[in-house]
Each structure stands twice: as structure tokens, then as C-alpha cells.
Structure 1
Amino acid sequence: MRFGMLAAALLGLAGMQAQAQGAAAQGQAQLKTDDDKTIYALGLSIGRSVKVFDLSPAEIEILKKGLTDSLTNAKPAVELETYGPKFQALAKARGEKVGQKYLEEAAKEKGAVKLPSGMIYKELKAGTGASPKATDTVKVNYRGTLTSGVEFDSSYKRNEPAEFPLNGVIPCWTEGVQKMKVGGKAQLVCPAKLAYGEQGSPPTIPPNSTLVFEVELLGIGGQGADVPRAQPAQPKK
């Protein structure tokens, strides 16, 4: 969800005022009906969309106040027209901070190697075959998550390995997969600059996101030609 859309969603929730006030009176959410569960899922969606801000407990309370004031038509404490345009800058600053901390911790893990580009490579299972070149087509299974652990893509869930030119995907993959051997599995922790940068890949990948991939190299070139060709879900733009 883009930040302009997020603002619209928060303001547009005024129609749910009665439900929100009723839940507050009960002290906790009561998920009895399908509508209750859908509204709760809406809360989950909004929560995921603001994870990039890495809010502290005190800041979460401030966010709750803004949401409550919108739902109850209370007088806003600040003007949305003034502070709404600052969403992107705050998201960028917070995202960079969270990403850098995650990269530093990932680099400390046993077996992890920090490459000159800034990506963290960790072999999970040694392969025995050849290593691909950047110009090769590779066949892989993979799973991609945000640093929060939210999964945004998985060939395993589709039950269909992906096959694509290695120089046609994000730089982190181009570099990291070349270090693998067929039959091997590795974790690639990708700084935002080697993934989707300031643009992100809405709605699943926020701007300035550090990404974590588990990649299993199944084949190179003509190996595994029986597997349907498919572009990776997050190709380089």
C-alpha cells in the first residue's frame, strides 16, 4: 500500500466508527462475524503497511490517536495537508535505519559473508554442480521476505520453480546466485540499493527495503528444460 493510499485508507475508515467505538467499549476485539474478521484483517493490512516506519511503543500510541481522531471526527491535532507529504521522507529514514541494523546482525551469523557490494551471503547447503555466469539462464526455487519476516513471494507456494536469465533480475541475485553451485541453497540478504531501492515494488515491497531470500539452485542453461519458463515474481525494473 502506497503512503498516499494509506492516508486515504486511514481517513476513509470513518464509516467504521460505530464498530470501532463498540470494540473499544468492550476492551478488546470480538471476532464473531465475518465482518468482524474482515475489519480485523484490514487492521492487519494497515499494520503491515506501516512496518517500514519501525514505530516505538510510544509512537504506536500516537498512531492510534490519529486513527481514533479520524474515526470519531475529532479535531485533528495537526494538519494532514502539512504532514502528509512527509510520510515518504520518514519512511525512507526509518527503512534505512532498520535495514542497516538487520544487515549488521545478519553479517554476524555463523557462515555469513559480507561481500564488497554490501550484500550478505550465507551458504545453507553446499552444491556439487557448476556455478552459473551472469549471462546464464538459471532454474531456482526461492522464498522472499521482508526483514519483518513477512513473505512477499515464494516459488514453493506456487509449486513451480522459476527459470530466468541471471542478468535480468535484481543485482543482489545476479551477484549472489553466481556464488552458488547446482544443488546448493543459500540465503541472500540484499540491501535496498541492490534490490528495489527508493522505489520499492508496491504493494508488497516498501521503498528502501532490505530483502531476505532463500534460493535453491536447481539447474543452469538447458538443465531442467521440462520446467515451465517463468519470470521471477520480482524482476529487475
Structure 2
Amino acid sequence: MKKLAVTLITLLIACSAFAGEAPKTEEQKTLYALGLLVSRSLATFNLTPPELEIVKQALTDAASGMSPQVDLGVYSGKVQELARARRKLQGEQLAALNKGFLDEAAREKGAVRSGSGLVYLSLKEGTGTVPGPTDTVKVHYRGTLPDGREFDSSYKRGKPTELRLDGVIRCWTEGLQKMKAGGRAKLVCPSSIAYGDAGAGDLILPGAALVFEVELLEVRK
């Protein structure tokens, strides 16, 4: 615990030394990476800037050997309560955001909403083969969040992706079977047929709706 405290105070001092600047030395970069790891453990709380200052003060006090200003035995349980409350609030806010986003997507000209909640919009009709639920397809795609942030792109990698339709999220399994080779479409996916409450990676939060623009290049039966 003492080693952790020393590491954290070193981190705080180092961060204050180049606040607002990019880390330059290997040690600064390593400490910055440590800060990123610590921030992941705080992500659940969705802290405001003033709240983050309180957390930083606690880190500084503990690392400096000062007596804590609260009884950790009493408040450790309250930390878990706060985490649960913040997760619930985030879920409610995200659900409301997703509903509005999906409803708006469904109103787009030409869009069709299926029983699963998938909103499908053909951007270019293909003339080739329609894939089946176990076929292998070659696609180019771009995935974004409702706020427009991109989380994945085969275009940026410079290479199409090959995959089986029975090995992907349900949104893709359903959506690509509405396409023909040579076509391009937008799939707006509710979380229930995307990554659900598990999320994926750092950007796709639990319960997140997703948008994919998919170009179906080839179908292999």
C-alpha cells in the first residue's frame, strides 16, 4: 500500500509538472499510462471536474502520509453504493439517448425498422448474391457511436474484413441478410442486438446503440 501511495504521489507531481503538455520522457509517458489505468477504475463514477479534484486531494493526502479526513471503514461501503447509483443513472441516461437516436434514425427516408429494433437503410442496392445466416462475407465497414465517434473502420486498416454471419453480433447477422453483394447500407443497432450490457472495449459502453455503414463486397456460400 505504501508503494502504491508513493507511486501515486509521484504520478501527481509528474502530471502537475507537465499539465496541459504532452509527456516527453519515457518516465513521463509511463506515468501518464498509469494515470490512464487509474482513470479506468474511476470511469464508472462519471466524475465531474470538482469531484475529480476531491479524489485527487485524497490521493495526495494518502501519498503524503496525512491522516485521512474520513473513516475509510465507514465510507468504503458508500463508495460501492455510489458506484451502483452512478451506473444506474448512466444506464437510464443512455437508454433515453438511445431511444431518441433510434427513433430519429427510423424516420430517415427509406429506413425500415424490424421487430428486433434494427433500423436498416439501403445506401446503394447491390445486384449480387444475398448471404445466408452461415455464409462467409467480405465487407468494408465503419462503426460509430450515436455521437459520431468512430470506434472501428476496415477502411482505415486498408483491408476488407472476412467473417461468418453466425459469428458476429445479431445486428450484423440480420442486417447483412437484407443486402446483396455490391450493395452498401447503414445499420443502426440497439444494444440488445449489439453488445448489450457487456459493452466492448473502452468506447462501446454497456447498453450503447451503434451505427455501421457496411459495404458488402463478396458472399461465399
TM-score under structure 2 length normalisation: 0.72
Displacement of 1:137 in angstroms is: 1.8
Match of 2:101 in 1: 102
Q: Is the 8 A contact 2:14 2:31 kept in 1?
A: no
Displacement of 1:105 in angstroms is: 2.6
Match of 2:11 in 1: 16
Match of 1:61 in 2: 49
Displacement of 1:71 in angstroms is: 4.0
Match of 2:131 in 1: 132
Match of 1:6 in 2: none
Match of 1:162 in 2: 161
Q: Is the 8 A contact 2:11 2:31 kept in 1?
A: no
Q: Is the 8 A contact 2:165 2:172 kept in 1?
A: yes
Amino acid at match of 1:72: T
Q: Is the 8 A contact 2:141 2:213 kept in 1?
A: yes
Displacement of 1:183 in angstroms is: 1.0
Bigger-Rg structure (1/2): 2
Match of 2:20 in 1: 29
Asked whether 1:72 is paired with 2:68, we answer no
Displacement of 1:215 in angstroms is: 0.8
Provide the C-alpha distance between the structure 1 equivalents of 2:167 and 2:179, rounded to a whole number of angstroms. 17
Q: CA RMSD in A?
A: 3.5
Provide the C-alpha distance between the structure 2 equivalents of 1:108 and 1:203, rounded to a whole number of angstroms. 30
Match of 2:211 in 1: 212
Aligned length: 201
Provide the C-alpha distance between the structure 1 equivalents of 2:9 and 2:186, rounded to a whole number of angstroms. 43
Asked whether 1:114 is paired with 2:102, we answer no
Q: Quickly say closer, same or farther: Cα 1:77–1:111, change in 2 above 3 A.
A: farther
Q: Secondary structure at the match of 2:212?
A: strand
- Structure 1 runs of 4+ with >6 Å offset: none
Q: Secondary structure at the match of 2:148?
A: coil
Asked whether 1:148 is paired with 2:140, we answer no
Amino acid at match of 2:149: V
Q: Quickly say closer, same or farther: Cα 1:206–1:76, change in 2 above 3 A.
A: farther
Match of 2:181 in 1: 182
In structure 1, the gaps of 5 or more residues are 1-11, 223-237
Displacement of 1:171 in angstroms is: 0.8
Q: Secondary structure at the match of 1:130?
A: coil
Q: Is the 8 A contact 2:15 2:32 kept in 1?
A: no
Displacement of 1:39 in angstroms is: 3.5
Q: Secondary structure at the match of 1:209?
A: coil
Q: Quickly say closer, same or farther: Cα 1:190–1:153, change in 2 above 3 A.
A: same
Q: Quickly say closer, same or farther: Cα 1:41–1:215, change in 2 above 3 A.
A: farther
Instruction: Give the % identical residues.
Output: 40
Displacement of 1:20 in angstroms is: 4.8
Q: Secondary structure at the match of 2:185?
A: strand
Compare 212-221 and 147-156 and name the one that shifted more.
Answer: 147-156
Q: What is the CA deviation profile of residues 38-74 of structure 1, one whole-angstrom value per residue up to 9, with x for unaligned ones?
A: 849956x949x84x88x6xxx6334433443344337
Once the two structures are superposed, the pairs formed by residues 194-209 of structure 1 within 5 Å of their partners are 194-209=193-208
Q: Is the 8 A contact 2:191 2:197 kept in 1?
A: yes
Amino acid at match of 2:57: D
In structure 2, the gaps of 5 or more residues are 1-6, 62-67
Displacement of 1:37 in angstroms is: 11
Provide the C-alpha distance between the structure 1 equivalents of 2:164 and 2:130, rounded to a whole number of angstroms. 14
Q: Quickly say closer, same or farther: Cα 1:128–1:151, change in 2 above 3 A.
A: same
